[in-house]
C-alpha cells in the first residue's frame, strides 16, 4: 500500500556496480508524466531497482523545501517480487485519501506490467542473439565436413546459405541468390512436391522437425542426393512460422551404396538382419493383394511372424494390425501406391506374446519392369516413444499440485460432454463450481505450504465422491469444477450437500493442528441449447458468486435462460 515517508525515499536508484543501468522506455516516461499531472504534485518518480534492471524516470522539478511532503507505493511483479517504487513529492503537505491511495496503487501495477514486458522483450532479443551466435559457431564447426547450413526467413521468402552449403553443389560464395523460388528450381522435378509438402507440414506444426532426402541439381547440371534437416526456431503469437534453420548433407555415396546392396542379396541379408526392426521388399499382385519378396529376421520381433508366414500374402500382417488402425493402414498404403509417394504411418499391433505395441512403417513405392508396384521399406518399434508422448500429454493436461485435470483439459472434456448430450439427450448434466471459503486467510495465517496441503486434501476428498462417469478439474486457485452427467439439479444439490458435510467432518490436519474447512458451491445445468460449454460453467460461477455474497458455506443455483 502507498506509505507517506521520509523524503530520503526519493533518492535515485543505486549507481554502484551491483546491477545493470538502463534508460526507461517511452511508455514508462509517459506513465510518470501522467502520474504527476493526475495528483498535481511537484515531482513524480518511478524507480526500478530490480537486480536485472536499475534506472529511474522523473517528471517535474524538485520542491525547494528541505523536508518536502513525500509518498511512495511499491512496484511489484505478478509473483510478488519487488521491482521498485512509484513516488510523489510536493513542496507543501497535502491530504491523501483512500481513493488517492488506490489510484496510486493502480498506477504502480501498470508500471509493474510495463517493466515486466520490458524484461520479456529484452529476453527475446537476447534469445535471438543467442541463436545467431550458436548458428555462427555451428557453421564454423561443420565447415569442410560435407554439410552445409541454411537459414530461411519464411515471411520474406529469403534463404541464405553457408559457404559449405554452396560448395556441396559446386558454387562459389557469390553465385547463388537468396530467393526461395530459385531454390525450388534446383530440386529434381520428381521430388519437388514431396519436399514442399514436408516443409509445409512442419510450418503447420504437424511434425516436430523437417527431414527429407531428395535430389538436387548441381552447378554442372548433374543431380546428387542430399538429406536436409531443419526446424522452425521462431513463430508469431498465432503459431505462424517466421524463421527456420537447418543443415544439408551430401548422401550420394549412401544412396549409391544402397543401390549396390540391393543387387547383392547376401550382403543385404547380413546387414538388415542386424537392424532392430523389419526391413522388407513387398510386391503387388496384378490380380489383387501383395506378397513379401524379402523380409529381414526382424519380422519376428516386429510382428511375431516368420518369413514363411508372409511369403505368399500380406494377410498374416494385417491380422496383427489393431482393428481400430487397420482401415488407416490399408488406406494409407493404397494412396501411396496410387500416387507413388513415400508411405509413413504409426499404428498399433496386437501380438500373442508382447500384447499391444506401437509400430512405425516407412516405405517407398516404385514401378518395376512389369509396371507393377514394388515397395522397399522398414517397420520399427516405437512403443517406448509413444508411451513417453502419452505421459507428456498427461502431464500437460494435469494440475501439478492436485493431479486433477487442469482447466484446459477439463474444458475439452466438458465440451465433449456437451456434444454427447446434444447427440443423445437424456437428463442432461449438472455443472458445479466449488470454492474453498476463506482460503486466502488460510494462506496468510498458516503459510502457502499448508494452503497447498488444503487444496490437495479437498481434491482427494472430492475424488472419493465421484462416479466413474463424473468429471472434475481444478479451474484455478481454490476453485474446482465438477460435471455430473445424466444428473438433474435436485440430485446435484444432494451431491453438493454431501461434499459440504464431508469437508466439514474432515478438517485438514497438519502437525497436530486441525484446520476447519467449508466450501461454497454454485450449480447450473449443461443445456442442449448451450452454444458453448463455457456458458454452463459461467452460470455455475455466477451461482458460486451468489453463495459467497450470501454468507459462504452455501449452495446456490442459476438456471438456463
What phi, psi does 418 have (nearest 5°)? Answer: -65, -40
Distance CA 42, CA 89 (A): 6
Is 478 marked active-site?
yes
Q: Is 334 exposed, middle or buried (0-12, 13-18, 19+ CB in 10 A)?
A: exposed
User: Which residues have C-beta within 8 Å of that of residue 432, sequence separation ≥ 6?
Assistant: 481, 482, 483, 484, 492, 495, 496, 521, 522, 523, 540
The grid coordinates listed for 450 are 499448508
For the beta carbon of residue 252, count every other beta carbon within 10 angstroms: 14
Distance CA 69, CA 72 (A): 11
Instruction: Report the candidate in 209, 168, 221, 216 with the shortest Cα–Cα distance to residue 191.
Output: 216
Q: Is 303 exposed, middle or buried (0-12, 13-18, 19+ CB in 10 A)?
A: buried
**C-alpha dihedral, 423 to 560 to 471 to 516, nearest 10°:** -170
What's the sign of the alpha-carbon dihedral 323, 328, 333, 335? positive
Residue whose grid cell is 502520474: 35
* Furthest CA-CA distance within the chain: 104
Residue whose grid cell is 439427450: 425
Q: Are 114 and 36 in contact (CB under 8 A)?
A: no
Instruction: Report the candidate in 497, 494, 498, 496 with the shortest Cα–Cα distance to residue 482.
Output: 496
The CA–CA distances, whole Å, from 69 to 47, 74, 309 equal: 18, 17, 94
Catalytic residue (choose from 208, 478, 479, 534): 478
Instruction: Report the candidate in 332, 407, 318, 390 with the shortest Cα–Cα distance to residue 362.
Output: 332
Bridge partners, residue 514, by sequence: 509
Distance CA 405, CA 398 (A): 4
Helix and strand numbers, DSSP H then E, in the chain: 17, 22
Distance CA 355, CA 188 (A): 43
The grid coordinates listed for 244 are 527456420
Which residues are known catalytic residues? 478
Amino acid at each position: 500500500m502507498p506509505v507517506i515517508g521520509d523524503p530520503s525515499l526519493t533518492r535515485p536508484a543505486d549507481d554502484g556496480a551491483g546491477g545493470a543501468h538502463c534508460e526507461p522506455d517511452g511508455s514508462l516516461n509517459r506513465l510518470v508524466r501522467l502520474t504527476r499531472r493526475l495528483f498535481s504534485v511537484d515531482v513524480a518518480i518511478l524507480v526500478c531497482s530490480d537486480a536485472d534492471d536499475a534506472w529511474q524516470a522523473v517528471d517535474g522539478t524538485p520542491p525547494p523545501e528541505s523536508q518536502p511532503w513525500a509518498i511512495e507505493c511499491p512496484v511489484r511483479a505478478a509473483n510478488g517480487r519487488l521491482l521498485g517504487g512509484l513516488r510523489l513529492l510536493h513542496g507543501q503537505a497535502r491530504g491523501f485519501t483512500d481513493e488517492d491511495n488506490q489510484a496510486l496503487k493502480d498506477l504502480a501495477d501498470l508500471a509493474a506490467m510495463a517493466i515486466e514486458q520490458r524484461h520479456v522483450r529484452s529476453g527475446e532479443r537476447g534469445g535471438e542473439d543467442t541463436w545467431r551466435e550458436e548458428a555462427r559457431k555451428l557453421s564454423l564447426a561443420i565447415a569442410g565436413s560435407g554439410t552445409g547450413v541454411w537459414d530461411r526467413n519464411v515471411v520474406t521468402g529469403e534463404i541464405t546459405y553457408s559457404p559449405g552449403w554452396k560448395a556441396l553443389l559446386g558454387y562459389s560464395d557469390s553465385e547463388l541468390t537468396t530467393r526461395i523460388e530459385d531454390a525450388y528450381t534446383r530440386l529434381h522435378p520428381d521430388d519437388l512436391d514431396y519436399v514442399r509438402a514436408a516443409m509445409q507440414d512442419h510450418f503447420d506444426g504437424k511434425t516436430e522437425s523437417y527431414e527429407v532426402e531428395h535430389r538436387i541439381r548441381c552447378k554442372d547440371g548433374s543431380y546428387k542426393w542430399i538429406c536436409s534437416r531443419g526446424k522452425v526456431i521462431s513463430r508469431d503469437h498465432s503459431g505462424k512460422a517466421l524463421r527456420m534453420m537447418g543443415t544439408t548433407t551430401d548422401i550420394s555415396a549412401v544412396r549409391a551404396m544402397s543401390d549396390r546392396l540391393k543387387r547383392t542379396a547376401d550382403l543385404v541379408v547380413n546387414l538388415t538382419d542386424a537392424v532392430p526392426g523389419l526391413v522388407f521388399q513387398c510386391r503387388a499382385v496384378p490380380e489383387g493383394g501383395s506378397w513379401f519378396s524379402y523380409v529381414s529376421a526382424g519380422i519376428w520381433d516386429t510382428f511375431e511372424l516368420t518369413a514363411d508366414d508372409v511369403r505368399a500374402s500380406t494377410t498374416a500382417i494385417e491380422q496383427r494390425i489393431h482393428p481400430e488402425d487397420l482401415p488407416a493402414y490399408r488406406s494409407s498404403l493404397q494412396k501411396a501406391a496410387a500416387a507413388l509417394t513415400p508411405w509413413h504411418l504409426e499404428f498399433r499391433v496386437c501380438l500373442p506374446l508382447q500384447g499391444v505395441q506401437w509400430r512405425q512403417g516407412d516405405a517407398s513405392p516404385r514401378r518395376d519392369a512389369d509396371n507393377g508396384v514394388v515397395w522397399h521399406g522398414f517397420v520399427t518399434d516405437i512403443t517406448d516413444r509413444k508411451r513417453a508422448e502419452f505421459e507428456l500429454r498427461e502431464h500437460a493436461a494435469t494440475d501439478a499440485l492436485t493431479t486433477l485435470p487442469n482447466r484446459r483439459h477439463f474444458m475439452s472434456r466438458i465440451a465433449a460432454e456437451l456434444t454427447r448430450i446434444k447427440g443423445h439427450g437424456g437428463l442432461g448434466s449438472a455443472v458445479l463450481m466449488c470454492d474453498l471459503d476463506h482460503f486466502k486467510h488460510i494462506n496468510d495465517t498458516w503459510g502457502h505450504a499448508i494452503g497447498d496441503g488444503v487444496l490437495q486434501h479437498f481434491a482427494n476428498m472430492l475424488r472419493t465422491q465421484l462416479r466413474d462417469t463424473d468429471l472434475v478439474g481444478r479451474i484455478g486457485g481454490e476453485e474446482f469444477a465438477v460435471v455430473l452427467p445424466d444428473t438433474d439439479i435436485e440430485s446435484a444439490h444432494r451431491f453438493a450437500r454431501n461434499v459440504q458435510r464431508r469437508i466439514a467432518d474432515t478438517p485438514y490436519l497438519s502437525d497436530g493442528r486441525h484446520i476447519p474447512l467449508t466450501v461454497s458451491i454454485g450449480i447450473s445445468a449443461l443445456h442442449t441449447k448451450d452454444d458453448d460449454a463455457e456458458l454452463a460453467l459461467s452460470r455455475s460461477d455466477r451461482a458460486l458468486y451468489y453463495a459467497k455474497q450470501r454468507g459462504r458455506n452455501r449452495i446456490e443455483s442459476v438456471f438456463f435462460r
